[in-house]
Amino acid sequence: MPVHPIEERYGTSEMRAVWSEQNRFSCIIAAEVALAQAEAVHGMIPQAAADVIVKHARHASLARAKEIENEINHDMMAIVRSMSEACGDAGRWIHYGATSNDILDTATGLQLKQALNLIDEKLRMLLSVLLDRAAETKTLVCVGRTHGQHGVPTTYGLRFAIWASEVGRHTERLEQLRPRVVVGQMTGAVGTQAALGKKGMEVQATMMEFLGLVPVDVSNQVIARDRYAEYFMFLGNVATTLDKIGIELRTLQRTEIGEVEEAFGAKQVGSSTMPHKRNPIKSEQVCGLARIVRSAIEPALCNNTLWDERDLTNSSCERVLFPESSILTDHCIRLMTGVVRGLVINRAAIRRNLLLLQGINMAESVMIELTKKGMNRQDAHERVRVASMQALAEQRSLADILATDPEIIRFCSKQELEQLLAPDSYIGTSVHQVERVIEKLSPLCR
């Protein structure tokens, strides 16, 4: 029976597979095989033995390794013995010169390589969807809000482009962290490679070539966990971007605002008691799970503060952190991609909200124009501010209030004021900014 929601509720099958017990076992086998191959290349074990290990080691079974572990209470040695049984006499060379974490951490490197490939693919899919929505809405003028209050206009295209730009930076970060995170080691008991002799560094380099991993420059018994901490901080950063998008979409779906709406199925139920409800449950799910992903950062950082050449406090912690954070992040990217792709945009509500304040949110436009025409900027700000407060209090249009100020009319006629208060003409370079982002980031999409 499932215990954790990532076993059946959250996550994609492909990311679950990366962190499955079977794949972990396969990655450990792959690391041991690569070690034997590298040692044969450098004359440390017989080539014939390495050939047998390459051919038969993968016949070792997880079930048999578990049986052995129940007897000896050591997971790594249980796998080594199960492999040795599968390889006959050649099995005596398996794990030669290695300590457990040479293999276990290298196996983690293989899993991280797989996980990052999946995350990279999904980030680029999300980026593509965001750019499509940005192009579609680049001229859709809407209310800009600061502090939750109406500000000058913006466009939906600019919003989507800002999110796309952030996701684009995540793809850059992913590529930058690969060589620091997708790594392996073969350094022995405390990092000196003493068991491998003078060829230790060559064996490590060759082993990692076989596996497609970057070899560490130096380590003790374990790969330094600052590398893994960077991975978890990356996941937290990605999850926070998704959280940010989700919060904005949830806000814009409020009944009083109603500018966007998550796609709602014909038979979908919004509430067990309120039949009318159409809740943004997918965005809410992303926002909630982002908290779990971010919570991994603190223990991941603590895992780098081990005693001396190592202790075991990181091990149990990482058994939880790696699958949970990776699976949830992958799940949230996929979920938000679907939300953005299917997002319903209510243009009538957008227009209604844009005109709600009868021009008051366009006060900056008037202040700027008055300054251009010769009024002191500070005086213009104060006059327009006072007029705006009066318009708000009396629920009148700003144009009417401004027209009663002879000093303002001296610089701008009422007709000019009405033009200045038209929101569609005050979106600056937003369309060009969106087009620039699309041009820049489109090559990254898949």
Is 141 in a helix, a strand, or coil?
strand
Residue 2 vs residues 7, 8, 288, 329, 361: alpha-carbon distances, Å: 6, 7, 20, 20, 53
Where is 75: in which H helix or E strand? helix 75-87
DSSP E strand stretches across 118-182: 141-146, 149-155
Query: Are the CB atoms for 153 and 354 separated by under 8 Å?
Result: yes
The catalytically annotated residue of 147, 272, 276, 316 is 147
Q: Rounded distance, CA 427 to CA 151, Å? A: 12
CA distance 51 to 43: 13
Q: Which is the catalytic residue, given 59, 271, 425, 432?
A: 271
CA distances from 215 to 32, 110, 112, 206, 223 (A): 15, 12, 14, 9, 10
Q: Which has the closest alpha carbon to 248: 234, 259, 238, 237? A: 259
Q: Which two three-digit tokens encode residue 323?
A: 């699958």
Backbone angles phi, psi at 155, to 5 degrees: -130, 155
CA triplet 246, 2, 317: central angle to 5 degrees? 75
Place of tokens 């596996």: 211
Residue 5, both tokens:
């929601």
Q: What angle do CA 180, 184, 190 make, to 5 degrees?
A: 110
Q: Locate tokens 């209050």: which residue?
A: 149
271 labelled catalytic: yes
Residue 145: DSSP 8-state: E
Q: What is the dihedral of CA 78, 80, 86, 88, to 10 degrees?
A: -120
* Beta strand extents in 61-196 (DSSP E only): 141-146, 149-155, 183-184
**β-pairing verdict for 149-155 and 141-146:** antiparallel
Measured distance CA(155)–CA(84) in Å, rounded: 65
- Token pair recorded at residue 360: 């008051």
Give dist(CA 168, CA 173) in Å, integer.
Answer: 9
Q: Among all residues, which ones are annotated catalytic? A: 147, 271
